[in-house]
Amino acid sequence: MPEPLRHNGFLCVTDINGIRHALRLSSICGLRDADSDRTEAIIVVNGGRDAIIVAHDLDQLFGAIASPQ
């Protein structure tokens, strides 16, 4: 899977099915582990109505969100 990337106010990720998503940073409500191995994470968006499972750990997502553009 491609690494998560921050670009112009968006977090660009590919989910576990290979679908690409560009999520506005302000639409992300939360992040959490998706499995006990901590190899996948869930990104909660749209006020908690949607969730995207990605094959990245939380540290990768935090790094992409916190990185300067």
Model pLDDT for residues 8-35, shown as the tens digit of each residue: 999 999 999 999 999 999 999 999 999 9
pLDDT confidence band for 47 (50 / 70 / 90): confident
Q: Indicate the domain borders of the chain.
A: 5-66
pTM of the model: 0.89
Q: How far apart are CA 65 and CA 63, in angstroms?
A: 6
State the average pLDDT over residues 35-56. 94
Judged by DSSP in three states, 14 sits in: strand
Q: What does each C-alpha distance from 13 to 16, 31, 48 come to in angstroms?
A: 10, 13, 18
Eight-state DSSP code of residue 3 = P
Terminal C-alpha separation, the chain:
21
Residue 15: name the closest of 50, 55, 58 by CA.
55
